[in-house]
Amino acid sequence: MEILKWKKLSSKYLVREKWATLRVDTCDLLNGTIKDDYYVLEYPNWVNAVALTAENKIILVRQYRHGGDIISLEVPGGVIDGDEAPESAIKRELLEETGYSFTDAKLIATTYPNPATANNLTYTYLLTGGIKTHQQHLDEHEILNVEEYTVEEVKQLLKDNKIAQALHAAALFYGLMELGALV
């Protein structure tokens, strides 16, 4: 059976806010069915970093995440501002969140956080040669600790299910694969 893209017949916005927009679409599924209440979240695109210091330590951040009500160990990252290039966004986010600057940045994955209900992308970068050059410059809602781990420690954190955020676990998978550290 051939899988076809649905045809959007109409859209209506229910919520339009800075961090999230909710719309409801009416779609022709092209199989004889009209779906008149398909909800889609529109988010800005995001960037994530598997960031290695000059000493080959992976930088992770620990912070509270209200939606899940958890203290979460994550890779650094954040929202792409407007028409900012993803590579510029990840370097800016790393400098703001961690105070580290990096010599090299390589795009290693582009993923959809949840294409069933959201329209945004996450760009994951591997950054190397990180050196602490600044103090943190956090947004008003950010309260986070910067931590450093060896590659082996990160692998153990993943094995022990200590990285709860799915996009961040995926980023670490791609980063470890790029580093040749998965065996």
Is the residue at 183 inside a domain? no
Is the residue at 1 inside a domain? no
Helix 166-178 crosses helix 151-159 at what angle (to 10 degrees)? 140
Are 32 and 91 contained in the same domain?
no
| Alpha-carbon distances, residue 86 vs 17, 66, 107 (angstroms) | 22, 25, 9
Domain count, the chain: 2
pLDDT digits (tens, 9 = 90+) for 123-141: 999 999 999 999 988 888 8
Residue 27 belongs to domain spanning: 7-42
Are 89 and 174 contained in the same domain?
yes
In angstroms, rounded to a whole number, what is the distance separating the alpha carbons of residues 183 and 176?
Answer: 10
- Which pLDDT value is given to residue 20? 84
Query: Cα 57 from chain centroid?
Result: 20
In angstroms, rounded to a whole number, what is the distance separating the alpha carbons of residues 123 and 108?
Answer: 8
3-class state of residue 165 by DSSP: coil
The neighbouring-strand residues paired with 77 are 48
**169 pLDDT band (50/70/90 cuts)?**
very high
Are 24 and 103 contained in the same domain?
no
pLDDT digits (tens, 9 = 90+) for 33-81: 999 999 999 999 999 999 999 999 999 999 999 999 999 999 999 999 9
3-class state of residue 122 by DSSP: strand
- Which pLDDT value is given to residue 120? 96
Model confidence at 183: pLDDT above 80: no
Is the residue at 163 inside a domain? yes
Give the domain CATH number at 103. 3.90.79.10
Are 80 and 32 contained in the same domain?
no
Are 50 and 38 contained in the same domain?
no
Contact 124, 166 (CB under 8 A): no
Contact 118, 41 (CB under 8 A): yes
Higher pLDDT, 183 or 136: 136
Contact 64, 70 (CB under 8 A): yes
Are 87 and 14 contained in the same domain?
no
Are 134 and 68 contained in the same domain?
yes
H or E stretch covering 52: strand 46-53
**150 pLDDT band (50/70/90 cuts)?**
very high
Question: Please, how many CA atoms are within 13 Å of residue 123, restricted to the half-sphere of its CB?
Answer: 21
Is the residue at 61 inside a domain? yes
Is the residue at 2 inside a domain? no
Is the residue at 71 inside a domain? yes
Any idea what DSSP says for residue 158? H
Is the residue at 34 inside a domain? yes
Q: Provide mean pLDDT across the span 89-113.
A: 96
Is the residue at 36 inside a domain? yes
Q: Which pTM was predicted?
A: 0.93
Mean predicted lDDT score pLDDT of the chain: 95
